[in-house]
Structure 1
Amino acid sequence: MKIIITVTSLKDWDFDIQDVEVVTGKQYLTNPVYSKLKNARVFNLCRDYKYQNTGYYVSLLAAARKHKAIPSINTIQEMKTLSVVKILSTELDSLIQKSLKDIKSEKFVLSIYFGKNLSKKYDAISVQLFNLFQSPFIRAHFTFSNGKWGVQSISPIASGDIPEDHQAFVEDATKKYFEAKKFSVPERTTAAYSMAILWDPLEKTAPSSEKTLQKFIKAANQKGIQANLITKDDYSTLSSYDALFIRETTAVNHHTFRFAQRAKAEGLVVVDDPESIIKCSNKVYLAELLKMHQIDAPETLIIHKENINIAPDILGFPIILKQPDSAFSQGVSKAENMEEYKKKVVDLLEKSDLIVGQQFLQTDFDWRVGVFNGEAIYACKYYMSKEHWQIVNWNNNGKYGKVETMPVEMAPPALIKTAEKLSKLIGESLYGVDIKQKGNKFYVIEINDNPNIDTGVEDAVLKDKLYSKMMDVFLNRIQKSKQVVLN
């Protein structure tokens, strides 16, 4: 991939960086060499990103040419919009407070060069702001008000505006950024495409273990897809890949969702996609969806402040109470009587205007059907944790019950049909559909994006064929996405 740096004037760039071509913004816009260039990454360091000025057009035309621009035209707009800046920066609130706690003044300016600051103590906040607002050099303005720090504005720093006493540091930071192995996908040998697998090495309840991720990587390589593990700090490398596979527990107000959004905007094949994360993470949405499409589920009621008292009459006791974004048995509780019910409902309604109340169905196990691309790929019986009513007992260090996996074709046809029907209503991503069985009837409990796939459990039947089958889907989607670009 060719690396280009655009500046307003060549005098603005006085650094010696190997394997990087430095041109003026005007040259990039007008020289046909660059309009014909394929597979380029453009670092836009022009002085002005104002609407319809040179810097603005560099990022705009880079998008039209299928070049990867930093900052992208979307990032330029985000930095100009104060409300967007504040919304995105709230994700980093605790880190901002921790990083700036020793500053005595009421204003603070942080200069960030490829995620680095002259003072190492600000590196953590610098790399996260760089991930949020991807521009080579940015300046973050903070103000202290009402006992806490907040972001007032984010603005790009043009190459010609770098303070003289920062020059040596900037050159070093730039060299390290371009030399970093993870800056771009390593040279491909036989691999035609590339995939980033997002994971958290420290996550205790990750959907796939590191051993399992290596199986995904091996299967991808066999299909001509070079797969690399990345973490939340590798946000800036996303555009180097053809696909993103998220193997970290997802949530809407979380970096996993931001990764999914950015990957989709960059044209990558994304699993799980942002829409699936939004839909699967909200149990209120699911309750309405099941009702609209007449899919069997335990008696369910959307509870709010006006109907608190009537829910027990409709659902009976015990009642299952779910916060809208609950997942993997967390955020789910059981109320055995009215006193317990009222206390738990009041607590939940402080966090959300709507919560889900559900009839309790006693079973020894829950079915979990894994569905990918609209097709069931595994079927498991997740038994309840010992002496507990859920498959995971979070009061006992997250202890799981036993699991039995069977061939999909051996599972009850009605079970598979229900799981596939619900999944198709959500999308074509990777889902885990939890279903209870009473006699010959099946009742949907929930659907999760990013379900568990682990060695010896969900792959117990298909083994390596499970990973191969999934990578076939990625390969087909990547190839189709490339055809769309070419057309």
Structure 2
Amino acid sequence: MNSVIILLDNPGDWKPYYETNSVLTVSDYLKHKSAGRERRLVINLSNDYSYNSEGYYASLLAQARGHRVIPDVQVINKLESGSGIRMDRSLQKLCYQWITKNDIKDDIWFLNIYFGTCREKGLEKIARFIFDNYPCPILRVGFNTRPKNQIESVQSIPLNALTSDEQDYFAEALDSFNKKVWRSPRLPKTSRYSLAILHDPQEKFPPSDHKALNKFLEIAKKTNVYAELITEEDATRLMEFDALFIRATTSLNHYTFHLSQRAVQHDMAVIDDPLSIIRCTNKVYLNELLEKEKIPAPASMLVFRSNNHSFGEISDRLGSPFILKIPDGSFSHGIKKIAGEEQLQAAFSTLFEKSAILLAQEFIPTEFDWRIGVLGGEPLFACKYHMAKGHWQIYLHSDNGKSKAGLVDTIPIYQVPQQVLKTAVKATSLIGKGLYGVDLKVVNGKAVVIEINDNPSIDHGIEDAILGDELYYRIINHFVRSLETQHR
């Protein structure tokens, strides 16, 4: 578990707040090396981060000592250089709505951000976005009102410059950011490590159901690892933990990817790591990778919005019918079976709205797909995912929003055909050493990889049906071994 150090230039700056043993002066921190290998979270509240200042060296040495520090030197340099960031259209729209509602007339208006939170209702997503890019305790951000609604400046604010009202909000934000500053340990003895399990309670098809998530918490406790379920709203607390386990469906240009990136930047053990997300979530990339490494996969071709592809052109190469996919679809969304020109043009009108490139693949009908779970290069579980009744996919999504899935049989690893296991393990070796789910079909006695999932389903009573609690122990212990390796 991380213990917390709050660094101040002057202990008097802490007078407005509750007393805590976590406070240390910047000078004392620089003079005295921390004993042992205990992981620490350092919150650097120096009033001066400028190059060669004590505040700057506090962050620099914290990183050298293996501590997690906010802000780190990279962020300090970004603030010093004034390198900017741009918001996407959705965040620009939030800005526009807020300045209109609040009748802001100034060309530049300012927002204070405390550990990724702000007092202004409606701007919470913007505050988290800026904190993701500039993890710093207190920021003052300038925005232009016309014509772009974009960020003009990002600066750190000294703690002693806060007004009385701002001090109150800072204290609340710090309490939310790292509750261990104020609370006694929740366990009778200090846990070895802490694990954040990111999930989305509103997700329709989550990678793990509620019972499986509770199993992860239960088994983590038995292995002396403190685990906690967090959501996107807890993103600002990420640095409180030693490891991150993503149990929300991942995607590029999505909060799951951004949090994975931030966790890796702060030397946390992560599943799914950013590189695995990049390699797995885009079917165009994955198809190219499998072809390059000569891993058996369905015949395929790229289809471009800029070209006028015909049904005959594609079916001559792939047969009829064939499958058309968007690159980043999941749970059978964004996939069409095409049997004629009319179907193709209808699919183009829908799918090209989501991506400029589509992937066309040969249609390989089978009664079930193999799903091989692989952890750290070793098979973890095996399932037969049967097609939904009367359908050619595992999931059948109806127009009324309802969905149904095919039956699942969990199979002991020793009963799985060896070529299926070997192909799955070889395929994941191209991705990384994390947790993956490889979907395969057996065609004419040959295992063919359909896709590799960086975020495979682990539901209670299904993927764990053979191993039971052992499956959860193996995943938790994988995090422990990763962290112990880092420490060595």
TM range (shorter): 0.7 to 0.9
In the aligned structure 2, how far is the partner of 1:384 from the partner of 1:272? 27
Residue of structure 1 equivalent to 2:149? 149
Q: Any residues of structure 2 matched to 1:199-210 within 5 Å, and which?
A: 199-210=199-210
In the aligned structure 1, how far is the partner of 2:207 from the partner of 2:359? 25
In the aligned structure 2, how far is the partner of 1:341 from the partner of 1:185? 60
Residue of structure 2 equivalent to 1:438? 443
In the aligned structure 1, how far is the partner of 2:249 from the partner of 2:331? 10
For 1:355, give the aligned amino acid. L
Decide whether the 8 Å contact of 1:85 with 1:154 is kept in 2. Answer: no
Cα deviation digits, residues 343-381 of structure 1 (max 9, x gap): 433554454343211011122222211111111222211
Q: Any residues of structure 2 matched to 1:92-171 within 5 Å, and which?
A: 92=91, 95-96=94-95, 99-105=98-104, 106-120=107-121, 122-123=123-124, 125-127=126-128, 129-146=130-147, 149-163=149-163, 166-171=166-171
In the aligned structure 2, how far is the partner of 1:10 from the partner of 1:35? 22
In the aligned structure 2, how far is the partner of 1:53 from the partner of 1:287? 50
Shift of 1:446: 0.8
For 1:345, give the aligned amino acid. F
- Does 2:423 align with 1:418? yes
Shift of 1:25: 3.7
Q: Structure 2 vs 1, CA of residues 267 and 17 (structure 1 numbering), >3 Å: closer, same or farther?
A: same
In the aligned structure 1, how far is the partner of 2:86 from the partner of 2:156? 16
Residue of structure 2 equivalent to 1:338? 341
Structure 2 gaps, min length 5:
none
Residue of structure 1 equivalent to 2:322? 319
For 1:417, give the aligned amino acid. K
In the aligned structure 1, how far is the partner of 2:392 from the partner of 2:240? 45
In the aligned structure 2, how far is the partner of 1:93 from the partner of 1:250? 24
Q: Give the SS at the match of 1:355.
A: strand
Q: Structure 2 vs 1, CA of residues 86 and 260 (structure 1 numbering), >3 Å: closer, same or farther?
A: same
In the alignment of these two chains, the number of paired residues is 480
Q: Any residues of structure 2 matched to 1:269-348 within 5 Å, and which?
A: 269-304=269-304, 305-306=306-307, 308-309=309-310, 310-345=313-348, 347-348=350-351
Shift of 1:11: 5.7
Structure 1 gaps, min length 5:
none
In the aligned structure 2, how far is the partner of 1:465 from the partner of 1:178? 32
In the aligned structure 2, how far is the partner of 1:353 from the partner of 1:82? 34
1:380 to 380, 383, 387: 383
For 2:296, give the aligned amino acid. D
Shift of 1:108: 2.4
Deviates more, 1:424-433 or 1:237-246: 237-246
In the aligned structure 1, how far is the partner of 2:395 from the partner of 2:135? 39
Q: Give the SS at the match of 2:229.
A: strand
In the aligned structure 2, how far is the partner of 1:90 from the partner of 1:180? 37
Residue of structure 1 equivalent to 2:467? 462
Q: Give the SS at the match of 1:48.
A: coil
2:405 to 400, 412, 416: 400
Residue of structure 1 equivalent to 2:32? 32
Q: Any residues of structure 2 matched to 1:208-223 within 5 Å, and which?
A: 208-223=208-223
Shift of 1:119: 4.5
Q: How much is the aligned-residue C-alpha RMSD, in angstroms?
A: 3.0
In the aligned structure 2, how far is the partner of 1:214 from the partner of 1:245? 14
In the aligned structure 2, how far is the partner of 1:94 from the partner of 1:183? 39
Shift of 1:445: 1.1
For 1:439, give the aligned amino acid. N
In the aligned structure 2, how far is the partner of 1:220 from the partner of 1:101? 48
Deviates more, 1:63-72 or 1:184-193: 184-193
Q: Give the SS at the match of 1:244.
A: strand
- Does 2:363 align with 1:360? yes
Shift of 1:131: 4.9
TM-score by length of 1: 0.88
- The structure carrying a bigger helix percent of its residues is 1
Q: Give the SS at the match of 1:377.
A: strand
Shift of 1:199: 0.9
Cα deviation digits, residues 66-87 of structure 1 (max 9, x gap): 2222112233344457665226
Shift of 1:238: 2.5
Q: Give the SS at the match of 1:326.
A: coil
Residue of structure 2 equivalent to 1:479? 484
Decide whether the 8 Å contact of 2:42 with 2:62 is kept in 1. Answer: yes
